[in-house]
Amino acid sequence: MTPKSVRDKVVAITGGARGIGFATAKALTELGAKVAIGDIDETALKESAAVLGLTAYSKLDVTDTASFEAFLNTVEQALGPIDVLVNNAGIMPVGRLIDEPEHVTRRIIDINAFGVIIGSKLAAQRMVPRGSGHVINVASLAGEIYTPGLASYCASKYAVVGFTDAARVEHRGTGVDFSLMMPSFVNTELTAGTHGIRGIKSAQPEDIAAGIIRLIGKPTARVRVTRLAGALAATQKFIPRGLAEAMTRAFGGESVFLDDVDADKRAAYEQRARHN
């Protein structure tokens, strides 16, 4: 993929102040794209926009339709019609289901799933009349496999996968593409206090950004990053359930978000994600 593939494209990124969103905005800016970021954290948003030299950014609550509409308006007024929307915003509180407060469950679903649906719909309403556009929804390999300690998170990401695939087929022939970015374990604040899957190298935010850039250059249904983790996730669909779950246990997947969590190292993220 060459820089020419994204140069001058208008790209809006949600959850752009940190992690994958920030890395994606940085990579795209360096390739000559016109980038705008939105984030619920106004302080971090302004700091990140300054670091990246962005002039288009806006506080964004992805669960609020009016806020999302205002963000897209800001982007188009500053940069022009949106070519690509990257629905990246998401949260991942961890722990046992029975210990998860109802407001946290609702927050996970509202941000991770409902926010993606809102953004996709609003973007498509702008793109379809123009006959061009691309919506990239950042899901997770947790949208294809299930992981103890992430029950509600898995539910939200399974929803994103099903939604995006259906929207992709529905918009076939309109000029508007829908794609899934499926990250594995990524070294961001989202995974603070956890150690990843035994024997499998974790991804960096820049790896996911590179995958998103590949999708912009050549839209496809989905991209899994890393390739090894993605291959293992895809393989589990074709082997007996008992064997698949035994493999998960062997790699430490059944305890990584439960008994193996360093609560102290994770405390700051959990507090922000749970909105306490």
102 Cβ neighbours under 8 A, 6+ residues apart: none
Residue with tokens 């899957």: 197
Q: Which residues contact 16 (CB under 8 A, 6 or more apart)?
A: 22, 24, 25, 36, 37, 38, 39, 45, 48, 57, 88
Check if the beta carbon of residue 145 is closer than 8 Å to that of residue 236. Answer: yes
Which 3 state secondary structure label does DSSP give 164?
Answer: helix
Single-letter residue type at 201: K
Which active-site residues does the annotation give?
153
| Tokens of residue 75, six digits | 């982007």
Burial class (CB in 10 A: 0-12, 13-18, 19+), 13: buried
* Neighbour-count burial for 136-160, b at 16+ CB within 10 Å, e otherwise: bbbbbbbbbbbbbbbbbbbbbbbbb
Q: Are 16 and 88 in contact (CB under 8 A)?
A: yes
Q: Could you tell me if 143 and 157 are in contact, meaning their C-beta atoms sit under 8 angstroms apart?
A: yes
Q: What sign does the CA torsion over 211, 212, 213, 214 have?
A: positive
Collect all residues with Cβ–Cβ distance below 8 Å to 172 and sequence separation of at least 6: none
CA distance linking residue 260 with residue 258, whole number of Å: 6
Indicate the SS3 state at residue 96.
coil
C-alpha separations of 39 from 47, 69, 190 in Å: 11, 14, 15
